[in-house]
Amino acid sequence: MGLENKMKLAALIAFATLAFPMTALAETATELITTLDERANLAKSQFFEYEVINQEKGRDAGVMRIQVSIQGEERFTEFLAPGDMKGTRALVKNRAQMYVYLPAYNKVRRIASHSTAGGFMGTTYSNDDMSTSAYGPVYDFSMISEDDASWVIAGPPKEGVKAAYGKIEITISKSNNLPSQLRYFNKKDVHTKTELRTGYSCQGEVCNAESMKMIDHTRNDASTELLRKDWKVNPEIDSSMFSLRNLQP
């Protein structure tokens, strides 16, 4: 075999050696996000009560209390406190349909799809954050790294899918196959927000974090922390709860 052919063969072998791990890593990332989404949505229905702490540097913390009922993609949120927020309700039908009832105006309004990146009721969580129940259908993940405790995957939105972020990076704990940290990037690949999920506990196979904290780096690290105060798995929830008629009392 001539020198030129040997060089071509060596290059081909090197390419194949590099390409195989990349394909394997992509497949692993897809498997990881599929497992994460499945574990996050094991329950047919769930009920939560949260204390919500909003913190901005130089200001006293603002405290709210909310109840959240979930069934499939649908979520119904009601504010219990403070007084000026009491009775405010939000309904998520899916990522493209979200409504809010404001008692001060006695009116239901639909949140426009182009404003999903905006803050949800004064928190650092966006409307898109509150309406996304699974990441696999939205983002195209690849493996970034792995150590003894976790995997890290990241990816941009899938082609043709509208998303609030240019990329999401998820650290998945090997202890429960659920996220411990999510890092959010804008379309210019600037790291804008970080979410921490800690204190996981389980009821049967269904596990959830006791604390979820979203830090907004574009707002001088303002944060919103959701502290779980009550949690029920598979409670009986009438489907009428997730109707527009129920949104306005």
CA–CA dist 100, 107 (Å, integer): 8
The number of residues making up the chain comes to 249
Q: What do you get for the CA distance between the two ends of the chain, in Å?
A: 83
Chain segment 217-241, per-residue pLDDT in tens: 999 999 999 999 999 999 999 999 9
Q: Which of the residue ranges 4-8, 132-136, 152-156 would you say has the lowest mean pLDDT?
A: 4-8
Q: Tell me the whole-structure pTM to 2 decimals.
A: 0.86
Number of CB atoms found within 10 A of residue 228's CB: 16
Residue 51 has pLDDT above 90, yes or no: yes
Residue 24 has pLDDT above 70, yes or no: no
Domains annotated for the chain, with CATH where assigned, are 6-247 (2.50.20.10)
Angle in degrees, CA 182, 171, 29, rounded to 5: 110
Chain segment 78-106, per-residue pLDDT in tens: 999 998 899 999 999 988 889 999 998 89
Angle in degrees, CA 93, 94, 100, rounded to 5: 50
- Give all strands (DSSP E) within the chain, no chain letters: 45-55, 62-71, 74-81, 89-94, 97-102, 107-110, 142-146, 150-155, 167-173, 179-185, 191-198, 201-203, 206-208, 211-216, 222-233
